[in-house]
């Protein structure tokens, strides 16, 4: 599968999913599958009764993805398409032969059908140019057009390949030129052989959004049909949305048949451009996420456990954040739910503390957080900061159902910059009951 096919699939997937989203309200709707082909056109060329040309490939996929049945048929005896049928996303191999074909341009059509796809059938037009065997070298170029897609300032698109061949006699001398287009490159740019792959690559994404066109000229000083041209289209789009999740993981903890654990939250932010339409989903029956959809560039999402009736132990889930116009969709947020036997249950009042101070200046004021028992009985706890020298906590352990911990920092021996350490606070009487608080300390000049 080449870059043109990948780019076409990406554009079709975005178009289909965007169309689906445009008809949606904030409540979930059913999206019917669409059949998507990697290309709608294939071109071959060959010499009459000469060697077989290299098969070409294209993808068959669906949006949304699903294991749908599909079948293939064609209307030309010189055309061979495999497989004849399959289930789910796959790849077609298309090959042609020159047996008994006249010297002319032949046309055929491949039809791909899937009964469950709304837009079935889809077709691929196939063109096969047969030339007579010449006595002199004859330029054959495998592609008439190449298309590249990229976001401005983003990653470079995958390169393409054109094969330069000799359909005649002798040895072909050839030269490939981009016509002075600085954003386009070919390698190698010249050769003295009868078959050679030339890599075509885009060299920058720092172009204005829009369509940029060029022509690669393949010339030869000893071929009858020189030069040959390959058209290049480079479509540059404005940068898309980009999903950023404020948390890397979430932990909920509760006692079996006790009170529900406090809710957690995270923020969905768009660090790209435009307005992001997003949705969230999870894979656990015990997990509630709200809101489930939104349109905007910054939104807080609440996460809660909806039951404490689970057996004691650890439970894992994943929250998926998706946006059809984001270049990194979906993003995953792991969630751990720790269910302990009914008893003392540790809870800390904060998850982050922030300090800042000038180097060798006055120390910042101390800050506090509370350690409390949200279960039964009497809580016994202790904390650890991995022996961080610039951090001091008091007390570092305790017994009772509500205690305040004082956090102090110092600047001794610290360089400019920001550092962070995670303090763990553990229920010493319960194996799965540990909470964490991050302390961030910034030293400025």
Instruction: Assess whether the region 3-237 and the region 243-340 belong to the same CATH fold.
Output: yes
Interval 5-33 mean pLDDT? 50
The model's pLDDT over 417-432, given as tens digits with 9 standing for 90+, comes to: 999 999 999 998 776 6
**pLDDT confidence band for 12 (50 / 70 / 90):** very low
CB 178 within 8 A of CB 214: yes
Quick one: average pLDDT of 283-298? 95
Query: Model's pTM, two decimal places?
Result: 0.36
Q: Which residues contact 394 (CB under 8 A, 6 or more apart)?
A: 405, 406, 408
Architecture in CATH of 243-340: Sandwich (2.60)
Q: Tell me, what's the pLDDT at 29?
A: 53
Average pLDDT of the residues in 362-383: 91
The residue-averaged pLDDT of 318-332 equals 92
pLDDT: which is higher, 255 or 389: 389
DSSP E strands in 75-209: the ranges are: 79-82, 85-87, 90-96, 105-113, 122-131, 139-141, 145-151, 160-166, 173-177, 184-187, 190-192, 195-202
Backbone angles phi, psi at 8, to 5 degrees: -60, -45
Q: Percentage of residues in the chain with pLDDT exceeding 90?
A: 59
| pLDDT exceeds 90 at position 315 | yes
CATH of domain 346-444: 2.60.40.10
Domain 3-237 fold is Immunoglobulin-like (2.60.40)
DSSP string, 255-317: ETTSPPPPPEEEEEEE-SSS--EEEEEES-TTEEEE-SEEESSEEEEEEEE--S-SPSEEEEE
Note the pLDDT tens digit of each residue in 170-217.
899 999 999 999 999 999 999 999 999 999 999 998 899 899 999 999
Report the distance separating Cα 391 and Cα 112, nearest Å.
66
pLDDT at position 3 over 60: no
Residues 259-274: what's their mean pLDDT?
A: 91
Q: Is 66 exposed, middle or buried (0-12, 13-18, 19+ CB in 10 A)?
A: middle
Mean pLDDT estimate for the chain: 87
| Pairwise CA distance, residues 353 & 152, whole Å | 38
Residue spans of the domains in the chain: they are 3-237, 243-340, 346-444
CB atoms inside a 10 Å sphere around CB 416: 10
Q: What is the rounded average pLDDT of the residues 161-176? A: 92
Distance, in Å, from the CA atom of 267 to the CA atom of 246, rounded to the nearest integer, reads 5
SS3 content of the chain, % helix, strand, coil (to 5): 5, 55, 45
Question: Strands 105-113, 122-131: parallel, antiparallel or unpaired by DSSP?
Answer: antiparallel
Per the CB < 8 A criterion, the answer to whether 303 and 287 are in contact is yes
Give the whole-angstrom CA distance, residue 315 versus residue 338.
6
């Amino acid at each position: 599968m080449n870059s043109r096919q990948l780019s076409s699939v990406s554009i079709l997937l975005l178009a289909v999913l965007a169309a689906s989203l445009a008809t949606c309200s904030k409540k979930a709707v059913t999206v019917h599958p669409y059949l998507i082909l990697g290309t709608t056109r294939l071109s071959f060329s060959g010499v009459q009764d000469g060697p077989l040309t290299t098969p070409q490939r294209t993808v068959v996929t669906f949006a949304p993805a699903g294991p749908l049945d599909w079948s293939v048929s064609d209307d030309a005896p010189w055309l061979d398409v495999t497989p004849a049928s399959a289930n789910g996303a796959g790849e077609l191999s298309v090959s042609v032969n020159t047996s008994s074909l006249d010297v002319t341009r032949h046309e055929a059509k491949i039809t791909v059908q899937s009964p469950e796809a709304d837009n079935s059938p889809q077709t691929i037009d196939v063109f096969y140019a047969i030339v007579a065997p010449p006595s002199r070298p004859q330029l054959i170029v495998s592609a008439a057009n190449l298309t590249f897609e990229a976001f401005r300032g983003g990653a470079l698109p995958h390169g393409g390949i054109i094969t330069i061949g000799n359909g005649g006699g002798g040895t072909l001398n050839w030269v490939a030129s981009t016509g002075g287009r600085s954003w386009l490159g070919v390698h190698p740019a010249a050769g003295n052989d009868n078959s050679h792959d030339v890599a075509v690559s885009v060299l920058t994404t720092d172009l204005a959004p829009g369509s940029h066109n060029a022509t690669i000229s393949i010339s030869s000083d000893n071929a009858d049909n020189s030069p040959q041209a390959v058209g290049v289209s480079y479509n540059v789009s404005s940068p898309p949305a980009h999903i950023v999740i404020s948390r890397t993981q979430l932990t909920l903890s509760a006692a079996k048949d006790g009170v529900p654990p406090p809710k957690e939250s995270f923020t969905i932010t768009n660090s790209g451009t435009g307005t992001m339409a997003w949705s969230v989903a999870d894979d656990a029956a015990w997990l509630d996420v709200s809101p489930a959809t939104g349109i905007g560039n910054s939104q807080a999402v609440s996460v809660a456990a909806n039951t404490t009736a689970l057996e004691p132990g650890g439970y894992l889930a994943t929250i998926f954040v998706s946006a059809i116009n984001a270049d990194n969709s979906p993003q995953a947020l792991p969630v751990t739910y720790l269910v302990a036997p009914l008893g003392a249950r540790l809870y800390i009042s904060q998850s982050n503390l922030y300090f800042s101070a000038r180097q060798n200046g006055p120390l910042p004021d101390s800050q506090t957080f509370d350690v409390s028992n949200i279960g039964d009985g009497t809580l016994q706890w202790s904390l650890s900061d991995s022996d961080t020298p610039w951090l001091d906590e008091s007390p570092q352990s305790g017994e009772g159902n509500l205690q305040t911990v004082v956090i102090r920092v110092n600047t001794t021996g610290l360089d400019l910059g920001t550092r962070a350490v995670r303090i763990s606070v553990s229920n010493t009487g319960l194996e799965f009951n540990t909470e964490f608080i991050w302390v961030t300390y910034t030293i400025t000049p």
